Amino acid sequence: MKLYGMGQSRSFRALWALEESGLDYEYINTTLRTDSSENDSAKHPSYLELNVQGKVPTLVDGDLILTESFAIVNYIARNAPNSGLLPKVSTPTYAKLDELSYFILAELEQPLWSKGKHMFALPEKVRIPAMFDTARFEFDKALKALDHLLGETDSDYAIGDSFCIADLLLAHTFNWAIRFEFDVPNKYVQLRDRHYQRPAAQRAMAVVE
């Protein structure tokens, strides 16, 4: 497998999953917002053949090319059934895993990336700093929904009693929230800190630092 990524972007989810999985892989650092003539640029013609959007991550495994981070994480997890990334649980519990995962991507992350785009990703002339207040409002609303989805539990994990892809997504998303200067409740800061201390997460951080 080859993973094209950059830093702590969404590609870090896939890199972390690879480290959790134990699968062999090659990591290829890919730079964003750089000139297309640079070989490692996401705008380089050879990279655009893999990912037409010129974004990261991209996973290449033989003839298979995946460019959506959660699809990549799921693919890695399915190729490493003993990793625990996909828990062995009942169908109803698995449905709750799906619900939580899609909520993280669609609701919890959305205001974070909205702010990120208007902080640095979009061309300066189309940025709207006034939307930062809206992003904070949406994030706070998503936090309340997350509290409801997770419920009251003494477990350190989102689903069952072991680490899985939902925990990885939560930790990475809250890391974004902290870096983008959102007000994150202490329990979720602790969640981020706890999961980022996992050996696989530390190895993944060493790759991108």
Q: Is 203 part of any domain?
A: no
Number of domains in the chain: 2
pLDDT tens-place string over residues 80-95 = 999 999 999 999 999 9
Q: Is 173 part of any domain?
A: yes
Question: What percentage of the chain carries pLDDT values higher than 70?
Answer: 100
pLDDT value at residue 51: 97
Q: Is 205 part of any domain?
A: no
Q: Is 175 part of any domain?
A: yes
Residue 36's pLDDT band, with cuts at 50, 70 and 90, is confident
Q: Name the residue with tokens 């490493």.
A: 80
One domain for residues 98 and 55: no
Structural domain of 143:
91-198
One domain for residues 19 and 68: yes
Distances 200 to 8, 40, 71, 89 between C-alpha atoms, Å: 14, 25, 19, 23
Which tokens go with 95? 């449905």
pLDDT value at residue 154: 86
Residue 152 in this model has a pLDDT that exceeds 90: no
Q: Is 74 part of any domain?
A: yes
Strands lying side by side in the sheet with 2-5: 26-29, 2-5, 58-61, 64-66
- In sequence order, the β-bridge partners of residue 11 are none
